[in-house]
Structure 1
Amino acid sequence: MDKLRTLDSKDLKLAINKCQESYKLAVDFLTNELPLSSKAYLPYNLQLTLLVIFFDVCPKPTIEQRDSLKRWFWITSLTSYFGSSNYTLMRQSVNNMKKYAETGYLEYITINKTVNYHNFLNSQFSFKSAASKTFALILASKKPRSLLDGNPINTIETLAIINKNEYHHIFPKNFLSQIGVIKRKANLHTNVCMTSLSNNRSISDKAPSLYFQQIQQLLGDKTYDILETNFINREAFEMGLNNEYEKFIIIRQNLISDYIKTLVEQ
């Protein structure tokens, strides 16, 4: 900051303009390459800062660089890499991002942390956490369709503001409470999908064994195509029809884990 005092007004204006352009490029990347339409869903503010630094140095990245940045975004989000950031980590991350922008060498943005799929998917669903924001982005990246009518969910609007009414507990929490499932186990990421507000109200607290039958009746031969966009396959659907919560969660956890691997692996 002290160095800014040594610059004249012309240099400062040039720097401001360059910074603005870098921010625009970073936001363009986040909104076009990733299912992010609002800062409200950005897992960590430092991710945006580092992307701005990248585009400041490299405003026209290659396709390979853009793909690498997407993997970097998902890995840093899924591993909570910036969850306990300190000055040393921030400085190192800034230097590494600059070096990657200058050289294109992947080693500079390689994150030496592995994704703990079980812990991530069985975390509590709460938009106060970066993990749940990340999970919402994963759901959106699948381009989900509403369970009851099959209509595409407008994920841009859904992710514009945090609105809990646009997320549905597949096994409703009140239903699970009635059969003895504790609140902590009912509110797992793996029990949540996106939905339209009208569908959410229509399903309400119905047992899956009831509204899954309704899904079959309404969607007909499109049932499994629609369900797949919500990480529910035929086997998981059968568990829902039988109100088998634990088995449903295990199956869906495996489905989402396999998908996440496509986001973070080369």
Structure 2
Amino acid sequence: MDEKSTKKLLRQFRERYLTPLRSYGFPVVTLPSHTKIEAVATVFETLNNTGKPLGPFELLTARFYPEDVFLRDLWDQAVADHEILEDFSIDAYSVLQAITLRARNSAQRSDVLRKLEASDVQANWEAVVRGFARVLDLLQAECGVVAPKLLPYTMLLVPMAAVWDDIAKVKGPEQVNVLNRLKQFFWCTVFSTNYDQGANSQAGADYAKLKYWLFDSSQDAPEAVSEFSLAESSLRTATTRRKALNAGMLALAVTTGARDFHNGMKLTAERVKADKIDSHHIFPKAFLNGKSDEKGRRFNSELVLNRVLIDPVTNKTIGAKAPSIYFQALRETLGEKELVEILRSHLMDADDEDDPLRKDNYEEFIDRRLDDVIMAIESVTGKGVTREFDE
């Protein structure tokens, strides 16, 4: 290329790229030096609300970088080492909340942003990440949380993961007792719906007691255990809008050995994922549409007591059919004994001629299943459910 052509090319490059760059107006937000860090985080999140979401984790990533704590690299390695974190869509910020719990006794956003230090991350990162993975393993194996949609509260993992390193240090038979108390805490929290509101504050209060009570039952138990309260009427009327309670009910059924309606095999994490098993109605919505009780009140098909984990094949077969029809078809395919066992595995007692599923009696079905569910809840929580005749 001759000199004239080179100059022309450089001129074109300058006019096309350099001149527009020099005149480009970069948006700048100037904040006073005394602005609180949580306010900075809010501005940061607001300005970065398109594309890749940016939040407190990214802000702390930038803050800790000069101290050689590379949060993004740490998180990428954590996900690579523990696949279950990605399976349950665990947020990296939750790990920082658990670290702040261990180091600063708080999971509040303001404390994560203001009080958490790079040295806290260095001292606690591995233990907390391992805690999240091991708690999820425990919930899958022992508490029926075989899929992300069956995890009642992600925030509940934070205090459990924060205390896990201490649990791992307990050796011998005593670890069984510690894990049983941890599971009791999980179930009591789920069925008392303690994390529906103020979850960050509740996590801090729970951790403050968990770290002692788990290892010494004479210590004060977390609120969900010591003040457990669940009324029969609340269970009877709860709908799927109460997502944590609905997830807890489904997970509870898995712990009792819930089996696939199609092939009779127990529901495992692998089977739920592979067969796309999901929550569906027992009395189909289309079947109940327009039907009322004796007082003229429309039936609510979205009660949590009307939901079970069903595979797509069975659910498609059910369609809008009456339970008496589709269960009879299953009875003819599986046999009476096998069908009864499958229904029992989902906390539905259906071994007599008065079975409400045979009569398409929705109210009676809800009443009967309520009794079965209450017995299961009392078993895992170690607490009594308030019955109507007790009030």
TM over 0.5: yes
Give % identity: 19
For the pair 1:228 / 2:344, whether they are aligned, the reply is yes
For the pair 1:244 / 2:361, whether they are aligned, the reply is yes
CA distance 1:166–1:257, change in 2 (3 Å)? same
Q: Deviations over 1:101-129 (max 9, x none)?
A: 55454533333121223313431124x72
Shift of 1:251: 0.7
Q: Secondary structure of 1:193's match? A: strand
Query: In structure 1, how many angstroms separate the alpha carbons of the residues matched to 2:353 and 2:152?
Result: 29
Shift of 1:242: 1.3
Query: In structure 1, how many angstroms separate the alpha carbons of the residues matched to 2:126 and 2:326?
Result: 54
- Counterpart of 1:141? 255
- Counterpart of 1:211? 326
- Partner amino acid for 2:190? S
For 1:2-13, what aligned pairs fall within 5 Å after superposition? 2=115, 4=117, 7=119, 12-13=121-122
CA distance 1:175–1:24, change in 2 (3 Å)? closer
For the pair 1:255 / 2:369, whether they are aligned, the reply is no
Q: Is the 8 A contact 2:291 2:299 kept in 1?
A: no
Match of 2:284 among 172, 180, 184: 172
Shift of 1:79: 0.5
For 1:82-101, what aligned pairs fall within 5 Å after superposition? 82-85=195-198, 88-101=201-214
- Counterpart of 1:32? 141
For the pair 1:195 / 2:307, whether they are aligned, the reply is no
Q: Deviations over 1:144-192 (max 9, x none)?
A: 2233x4422534147659x7x7223111111111434777622111111
The structure number with the bigger radius of gyration is 2
Match of 2:163 among 54, 63, 73: 54
Q: What count of residue pairs does the alignment treat as equivalent? A: 258
TM-score between the two structures when normalised by the length of structure 2: 0.59
CA distance 1:87–1:31, change in 2 (3 Å)? closer
CA distance 1:144–1:101, change in 2 (3 Å)? closer
CA distance 1:97–1:208, change in 2 (3 Å)? same
TM-score between the two structures when normalised by the length of structure 1: 0.83
Query: In structure 1, how many angstroms separate the alpha carbons of the residues matched to 2:164 and 2:197?
Result: 25
Query: In structure 2, how many angstroms separate the alpha carbons of the residues matched to 1:228 and 1:102?
Result: 35
Q: Is the 8 A contact 2:282 2:306 kept in 1?
A: yes
Shift of 1:264: 0.8
Shift of 1:13: 3.4
Unaligned stretches of 5+ residues in structure 2: 1-113, 384-391
- Partner amino acid for 1:230? H
- Counterpart of 1:41? 150
CA distance 1:248–1:73, change in 2 (3 Å)? same
Q: Is the 8 A contact 2:317 2:326 kept in 1?
A: no
Query: In structure 1, how many angstroms separate the alpha carbons of the residues matched to 2:217 and 2:239?
Result: 37
Shift of 1:17: 2.3
Q: Identify the structure with bigger relative contact order (alpha carbons < 8 Å, sequence gap 6+).
A: 1
Q: Is the 8 A contact 1:57 1:102 kept in 2?
A: no
CA distance 1:184–1:72, change in 2 (3 Å)? farther
Shift of 1:207: 0.7
Unaligned stretches of 5+ residues in structure 1: none
